[in-house]
């Protein structure tokens, strides 16, 4: 990743002890998504700043379906082509890299764990 793409990301110093959600997934959401989907802005009526709200979603039902990236609104939208109206991030915003997309999909497909450490995962 280029320095610009890494902007805002927490540095992981000890990979064995790093937490999948708090150290990796949350960093992506906080640097790329919660600027629009927060308590006061709620774009698309969606707030994503707590775990419960991510699982709940708003208009279209849950945005994360644990274990099924292809059915999760979150991972569906980040995979749409950029010109599609529903593509996330909206045009003109710093977009996700393919590594970010793969990490989010991998997390959802692995049952979207909140508590696991990298060291405890069987990859």
Q: Which residues bind to ligand HEC, rule: CB under 6 A?
A: 32-33, 35-37, 43-46, 57-60, 63, 73-74, 77-78, 86, 88-90, 93, 96
User: Of 38, 40, 112, nearest to 72 (Cα)?
Assistant: 112
Complex with ligand HEC: residue 26 or 74, whichever CB lies closer: 74
CB of 17 to ligand HEC, least distance (A): 26
Q: How far is CA 6 from CA 9, 46, 77, 95, 114, in A?
A: 6, 25, 22, 12, 22
Complex with ligand HEC: residue 1 or 15, whichever CB lies closer: 1
- CA–CA separation, 16 vs 1, rounded Å? 21
Complex with ligand HEC: residue 62 or 113, whichever CB lies closer: 62
- CA–CA separation, 122 vs 119, rounded Å? 8
Complex with ligand HEC: residue 29 or 118, whichever CB lies closer: 29
- CA–CA separation, 96 vs 32, rounded Å? 7
CB of 59 to ligand HEC, least distance (A): 4
CB of 85 to ligand HEC, least distance (A): 6
């Amino acid at each position: 990743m280029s320095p610009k793409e890494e902007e805002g990301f927490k540095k992981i110093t000890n990979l064995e002890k790093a937490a999948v959600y708090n150290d990796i997934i949350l960093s992506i959401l906080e640097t790329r998504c919660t600027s629009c989907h927060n308590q006061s802005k709620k774009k698309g009526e969606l707030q994503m700043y707590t775990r419960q709200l991510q699982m709940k979603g708003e208009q279209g039902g849950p945005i994360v379906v644990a274990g099924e990236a292809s059915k999760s609104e979150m991972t569906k939208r980040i995979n749409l082509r950029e010109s599609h109206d529903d593509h996330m991030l909206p045009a003109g915003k710093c977009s996700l890299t393919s590594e970010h997309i793969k990490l989010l999909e991998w997390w959802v497909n692995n049952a979207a764990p909140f508590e696991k450490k990298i060291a405890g995962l069987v990859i």
